[in-house]
Amino acid sequence: MSIIGMSRRSIMCSVVPLAMGAVSPRTSSAAEALGDKLLTTPATPDVIARGLEADGYALGVSAFTWGYPLVRMERVIREYTDVPSPKPATSYRAGLNEIGWAEELATPAATDMPTANCDTFYMSAVVMLDEPYILSVPDTADRYYVINVFNMWQELEHYVGRRTTGTQAGRFAIVPPGWSGELPPGLKRLNVTTDKIWLWGRLHMTQGEAKQPVLDLQKQFGLARLGGAPSQTRILQPLPVIDHDDLGFLQHLAFALRSTAVKPADQALFAQFARIGLTGSGFDPSQLGPDARRGLIRGLGEGPAVAISSLASTATRRNGWDWVVGLDSFGFNYPLRALVAGPYLGGNGEREAMYPIRYTDADGTVLNGKNRYVVKFGSEPPVDAFWSLTMYNAADKMLVANAIDRFKVGSDTVGLVRAADGSITVPIQADSPGGDAALNWLPSPEGDFYVILRLYQPRDEVLSGAYQLPQLRKVD
């Protein structure tokens, strides 16, 4: 039996005799001088109860920030393989082991992906790798595209696309762990670390261009088993039902761990979760006493706040913008990985795209549609692809419906006004500014909002900070 399953009385019977004889007056005095409270804290019932609750809380926070990406991916792959009928034009859902493309840019009605861009058609494919799968890509004639290969921890293991592999036609073998066969010549091998993966793609669609040629190009992307045979009929088992279960997250995490192994580097951390009943065999809440359970529930509840607060510890503030790097190299920054897996699912690393995000104005006040703002770019952002400034509701992280159906302003905005000195002024407000200013207007909601400046294939002066991000100012 673990200590969590023991009664307070049994703990006291075993611990108190040790504690009573362990500290002499001299030791106690020295411990107090050093501030070593472990040597002077008694094993009384109230201390035991407080300690069990604190341990449950700490492990709850840790289990959430560590395990959330895996749980999120298990949930997402089921959503993205559940194809509605009729399928909306903005949807990229597809059956298991199939490619799905959106045929329209995202709108406020497209709620599958929080913080969606309005620059590219999205692509999604959930693949169960019983053997290698071949990803075929066409010649896109320098049109920007990228396909990210994510493992089940929402870690970006490979890029296929304009920046890394070029835009000529190519074939890539996605190879599961432990596979030891031979690949035919002409395939670029991409090893992955989990046997389920998510392919997440973007194909640039310039505002106002003819759509059909781009839709035809989508059809030239392919996904097939190495052996060439049709995919075996396989299904994703449903996740456990966890309605109104305070510990339901751990039920989903235990389920996810049945098919995705704990990484070797995380084994020591995972072993700690045995104290809250989570092991390689599953999650057993019956081991929890009332104190540990109370702390655990509180820790799981605070986990999202810990993930969100990772922005404060990992982001760089540049002229009011939060600037985060390392989205393809989290290391042991589990809170940041959890944050990205949530509202910023599928984000690229900084060399592929940068996502400076803005929640406040130049005075540090939260952005709100009752005010009017302006962003003035001193010059066009230095990128090798394109850029955009996109508006989101703070409450749901979705695009903002407005009278002119404009959700972003960017390098491909039709009629974008650039001043003689190359500067670009973007009014941000709920109502139209009228006149020429309306040509660059980015409509805001009436309530709180935030904006993301996307910089696709940013140049070195962006990455180094030499390029000054524009200030966002409140105006009268």
Tokens 């969590």 belong to residue: 4
**Domain boundaries of the chain, sorted by first residue:** 3-45, 56-73+238-311, 82-225, 328-475
**Overall CATH class of domain 56-73+238-311:** mainly alpha
CA-derived radius of gyration, the chain: 26
Superfamily of domain 82-225: Domain of unknown function DUF1254 (2.60.40.1610)
Contact 39, 27 (CB under 8 A): yes
In what helix (H) or strand (E) does residue 463 lie, and over which residues does it extend? Answer: helix 460-464
**Per-residue pLDDT of the chain in tens (476 residues, 90 and over written 9):** 444 444 444 444 444 444 444 455 566 677 777 889 999 999 999 999 999 999 999 999 999 999 999 999 999 999 999 999 999 999 999 999 999 999 999 999 998 988 999 999 999 999 999 999 999 999 999 999 999 999 999 999 999 999 999 999 999 999 999 999 999 999 999 999 999 999 999 999 998 899 999 999 999 999 999 987 765 567 899 999 999 999 999 999 999 999 999 999 999 999 999 999 999 999 999 989 999 999 999 999 999 999 999 988 999 999 999 999 999 999 999 999 999 999 999 999 999 999 999 999 999 999 999 999 999 999 999 999 999 999 999 999 999 999 999 999 999 999 999 999 999 999 999 999 999 999 999 999 999 999 999 999 999 999 999 999 999 999 98
- Rounded alpha-carbon distances, angstroms, from residue 382 to 151, 186, 353, 388, 465: 31, 35, 12, 12, 11
Which pTM was predicted?
A: 0.91
Cα 228 to Cα 132, 178, 342, 346, distances in angstroms: 11, 20, 35, 29
CB 425 within 8 A of CB 375: yes
Query: Half-sphere exposure (CA, 13 Å, Cβ side) for 141?
Result: 3
Q: How far is CA 390 from the centre of its chain?
A: 18
Give me the architecture of the 328-475 domain, per CATH.
Answer: Sandwich (2.60)
* CA–CA–CA angle 22, 23, 24 (5° rounding): 125
- Residue 28, pLDDT score: 65
- Give the C-alpha separation, 313 to 296, whole Å: 24
